[in-house]
């Protein structure tokens, strides 16, 4: 959410952001509502002040004036309450419009409508030169009986998976390994629920725009989060945080649930795009300073790149376009890992800076060095998400006879050179 004072003073910048992010906004209506609400609040304050002034002078007033003074005080109070009641739905309408406003994008972001405008900023790791036709991850899984991708469909429907044998072990090892690596970088490991309240999605930014992507449990007034970011954004809501010793850093582990409503027909084979998966999430709440945010953005990205380097997976870093980065992002860098069977890089990580757009929604504030209470900045990045990461991991490290040689970092954890 943007600050109303900022919107009043930077209307054109907000309108441009909306255009660059393909978001329809009606700033005339929003600013008219804002003026109406501010006008009413000023009138309410004036009426309240009048009533208080009358009350204050009541004792010393001449007896014959008391009746009239009492009436005027009562009338002022009644008018104020009436105005306040009439304002409630206008304030709600104003807040609803504010929740749909985009953040101002990073000036260095490519301007464009969707992922086709994304730009590759860096490519790391030599692509594998197999010397044979590589199998795709489904073939490798079937050859080694590492998952049941067909029986599970009649149990749970499409876009579901159940890993078996060494691959089932590998998923849990990868999550534990990633959690410990990010924890070693100073992040507090934390497990959070995916079952969370509607407010948490509004504060994180998933709502109101993406309800259709989210599973709902109406009998319990709960929804299923697609990322630990949802719970982590709301964990400290309403608090005045102490950031004097540096930012709050979380390595959040959670199951993730996504309806993938908009993905019909995309990535239907195998493990790339499923309804339920697990993820270790990097999450930062830091002081509202652009340079500090930018530094944490770089650190989050570097940590994810470290994990991919340890997994010996070739990847590229993407500068995400204004149309692809989403409503709340100031800046987003995706990391795409090489998938040999597709001969393409596919997104496995997404690193975002949101400045105070989320903190304003979640009411995350801190006292700065001058003692002023301000909204914080928040950032998040994927550390590792499974089963998607298994696709490049299996395919890049496969041998001609269909085995998978583990990257060195995983061999001691998996008790051998091969999966
Ligand atoms: N439907 C899905 N199936 C499997 N993996 C997924 C799915 N959706 C997302 N992921 C994985 O989760 C990662 C992060 O998802 S994201 O929406 O891009 N970003 C976030 O959730 C942020 N909180 C950063 O993690 C993706 O890069 C991908 O690796």
pLDDT values of the chain reduced to their tens digit, one per residue, 419 residues: 999 999 999 999 999 999 999 999 999 999 999 999 999 999 999 999 999 999 899 889 898 999 999 999 999 999 999 999 989 999 999 999 999 999 999 999 999 999 999 999 999 999 999 999 999 999 999 999 999 989 999 999 999 999 999 999 999 999 999 999 999 999 999 999 999 999 999 999 999 999 999 999 999 999 999 999 999 999 999 999 999 999 999 999 999 999 999 898 999 999 999 999 999 999 999 999 999 999 999 999 999 999 999 999 999 999 999 999 999 999 999 999 999 999 999 999 999 999 999 999 999 999 999 999 999 999 999 999 999 999 999 999 999 999 999 999 999 999 999 99
Whole-angstrom Cα distance, residue 187 to residue 37?
A: 42
Centre of ligand 1 to C-alpha 348, Å, is 7
Centre of ligand 1 to C-alpha 104, Å, is 23
ipTM: 0.99
Could you tell me the strand order of the sheet in which 188-191 lies?
A: 119-124, 315-319, 331-339, 344-353, 377-386, 276-286, 248-257, 188-191
Whole-angstrom Cα distance, residue 185 to residue 178?
A: 11
Task: Find the largest Cα–Cα distance for the chain.
Answer: 106
Residues within a 6 A CB radius of ligand 1: 227, 229, 258, 260, 273-274, 277, 279, 281, 347-350, 380-382, 385, 388
Whole-angstrom Cα distance, residue 174 to residue 253?
A: 12
Give a three-class secondary structure readout of the chain.
CCCHHHHHHCHHHHHHHHHHCCCCCCHHHHHHHHHHHHHHHHHHHHHHHHHHHHHHHHCCCCHHHHHHHHHHHHHHHHHHHHHHHHHHHHHHHHHHHHHCCCCCCCCCCCCCCCHHHCEEEEEECCCCCCCCCCCCHHHHHHHHCCEECCHHHHHHCCCCCEECHHHHHHHHHHHHHHHHHHHHCCCEEEECCCEECHHHHHHHCCCCCCHHHCEEEHHHCEEECCCHHHHHHHCCCCCEECCCCCCEEEEEEEEEECCCHHHCCCCCCCCCCCCEEEEEEEEEEECCCHHHHHHHHHHHHHHHHHHHHHCCCCEEEEECCCCCCCCCCCEEEEEEEEECCCCEEEEEEEEEECCCHHHHHHCCEEECCCCCEEECEEEEEEEEEECCCHHHHHHHCECCCCCEECCHHHHHHHCCCEC
HSE, CB side, 13 Å, CA atoms: give it for residue 241.
28
Centre of ligand 1 to C-alpha 342, Å, is 19
Annotation says 254 is catalytic = no
Whole-angstrom Cα distance, residue 97 to residue 101?
A: 7
Nearest atom within ligand 1 for CA of residue 382: 25
pTM over 0.80: yes
**Domain annotation for the chain: domains and CATH numbers:** 4-98 (1.10.287.40), 115-414 (3.30.930.10)
Which residue, chain included where needed, has tokens 């419009």?
97
Annotation says 405 is catalytic = no
Annotation says 347 is catalytic = yes
Mutate to test the pocket of ligand 1, among 118, 227, 280, 335 (most ligand atoms within 8 A of CB): 227
Whole-angstrom Cα distance, residue 410 to residue 178?
A: 11
For 83-92, what is each residue's pLDDT tens digit? 999 899 999 9
HSE, CB side, 13 Å, CA atoms: give it for residue 375.
16
Q: Whose CA is nearest to atom 1 of ligand 1?
A: 273
| Beta-strand relationship, 119-124 and 147-148 | unpaired
For 342-400, what is each residue's pLDDT tens digit? 999 999 999 999 999 999 999 999 999 999 999 999 999 999 999 999 999 999 999 99
User: b/e for 167-180, b at 16 or more Cβ within 10 A?
Assistant: beebbebbbebbbe
Q: What is the structure's pLDDT at 402?
A: 98
Six-digit token pair at 298?
A: 């770089």
Sorted by sequence, the CB contacts under 8 Å of residue 190 that are 6+ apart come out as 232, 250, 251, 252, 253
For 162-210, what is each residue's pLDDT tens digit? 999 999 999 999 999 999 999 999 999 999 999 999 999 999 999 999 9
């Amino acid at each position: 959410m943007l600050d109303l004072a900022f919107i009043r003073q930077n209307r054109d910048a907000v309108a441009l952001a909306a255009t660059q992010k393909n978001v329809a906004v009606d700033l005339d209506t929003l600013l008219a509502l804002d003026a109406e609400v501010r006008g009413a609040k000023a009138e309410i304050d004036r009426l309240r002040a009048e009533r208080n002034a009358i009350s204050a002078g009541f004792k010393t007033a001449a007896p014959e004036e008391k009746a009239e003074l009492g009436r005027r005080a009562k009338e002022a109070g009644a008018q104020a309450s009436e105005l306040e009641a009439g304002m409630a739905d206008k304030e709600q309408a104003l807040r609803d419009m504010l929740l749909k406003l985009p953040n101002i994008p990073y000036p260095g972001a490519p301007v464009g409508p969707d992922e086709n405008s994304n730009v590759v900023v860096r490519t790391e790791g030599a692509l594998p030169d197999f010397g044979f036709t590589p199998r795709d991850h489904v073939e490798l899984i079937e050859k080694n009986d590492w998952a049941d991708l067909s029986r599970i469909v009649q149990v749970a429907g499409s876009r579901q998976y159940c890993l078996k044998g060494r691959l089932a072990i590998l998923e849990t090892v990868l999550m534990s390994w990633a959690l410990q690596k990010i924890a070693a970088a100073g992040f507090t490991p934390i497990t959070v629920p995916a079952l969370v309240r509607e407010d948490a999605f509004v504060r994180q930014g998933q709502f109101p725009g993406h309800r259709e992507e989210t599973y709902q449990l109406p009998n319990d007034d709960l929804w299923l989060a697609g990322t630990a970011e949802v719970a982590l954004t709301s964990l400290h809501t309403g608090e005045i945080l102490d950031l004097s010793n540096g930012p709050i850093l979380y390595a959040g582990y959670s199951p993730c649930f996504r309806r993938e409503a908009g993905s019909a027909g995309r990535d239907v084979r195998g493990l790339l795009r499923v309804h339920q998966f697990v993820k270790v999430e990097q999450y930062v709440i830091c002081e509202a300073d652009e340079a500090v945010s930018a530094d944490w953005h770089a650190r989050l990205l570097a940590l994810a790149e470290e994990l991919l380097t340890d997994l010996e997976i070739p990847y590229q870093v993407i500068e995400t376009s204004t149309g692809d980065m989403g409503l709340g992002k100031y800046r987003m860098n995706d990391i795409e890992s090489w998938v040999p069977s597709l001969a393409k890089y596919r997104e496995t990580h997404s690193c975002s800076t949101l400045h105070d757009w989320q903190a304003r929604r979640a009411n995350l504030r801190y006292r700065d060095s001058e003692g002023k209470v301000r909204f914080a900045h928040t950032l998040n990045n994927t550390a590792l998400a499974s089963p998607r990461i298994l696709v490049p991991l299996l395919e890049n490290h496969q041998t001609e006879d269909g085995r998978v040689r583990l990257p060195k970092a995983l061999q001691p954890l998996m008790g051998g050179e091969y999966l």
